[in-house]
Homo-oligomer: A and B are copies of this chain.
Amino acid sequence: SADGKFADRIIAPYSIYKGKAAFSATPVLPTFSKLGSGSLKVDRRGSIMLKFWPAIGERKYDWEKRQLFALSATEVGSLISLGSKDSCEFFHDPSMLSSNAGQVRKTLSVKPNDNGYFISLSVVNNILKTNDRFSVPVTTAEFAVMRTAFSFALPHLMGWDRYTHQLPQSMYENPSS
């Protein structure tokens, strides 16, 4: 695309397929708005988008039934600092501050098991009268990939790479040299 949103064009989820469900994680960069002064200000903070979808047979999964959960920077901080015996739980209401507030309740939980964690998403939707639950066992090795990749992504979700990813100043100063 010509609008400079390079990042929207990349499709590189970290996906884990297990017996009852599949799960993927993808970084979503922040958006910036340009102020009158010329400054770029973070508009919408970035996140790690988690997607879960159910198995419907051997090695078959139903992508249409996926549910999403967007981890904030602080929730990512919670995950990457999790000890091997620790658990954590996050609650999201996608309709918060709207007239449907409280009608949909999403709960992500991470609980230790013998070799890693169970990562589970529950979505209770009072409007559609649905109740979806996904649980994916994530091994210690897979969680190490997530921890490393999420730590790498975190400064980018915050927009802090913009402070630093720049051409050497000398090059900019003398573009013709």
Interface residues of chain A, those whose CB is within 8 Å of chain B, are 1-2, 4, 6-12, 14, 27, 29-30, 32, 34-35, 38-42, 73-78, 80-81, 139-145, 147-149, 151-156, 158-173, 177
Q: Which residues of B contact A78 (CB under 8 A)?
A: 140-141, 144
The answer to whether B10 and A177 have CB atoms under 8 Å apart is: no
Task: Give the contacting residue for A11; candidates B41, B75, B154, B156; CB below 8 A.
Answer: B41
Copies of this chain in its oligomeric complex: 4
Interface residues of A: mostly helix, strand, loop or mixed? helix
11 A-B contacts (beta carbon < 8 Å): A7-B164, A7-B166, A8-B39, A10-B32, A14-B73, A27-B160, A77-B145, A78-B144, A149-B155, A149-B160, A152-B154
Given contacts A76-B145, A80-B148, A148-B80, contact A168 B42 (CB under 8 A): no
Q: Which residues of B contact A12 (CB under 8 A)?
A: 30, 41-42, 158-160, 162-163
Q: Which residue of B lies closest to A162 (CB)?
A: B10
CA distance A163 to B49 in the complex (A): 13
**Apart from A6-B170, A81-B141, A81-B144, what 12 extra A-B contacts exist at CB < 8 Å?**
A10-B159, A12-B160, A14-B73, A34-B170, A75-B141, A81-B143, A149-B158, A149-B160, A153-B160, A162-B169, A165-B168, A166-B168
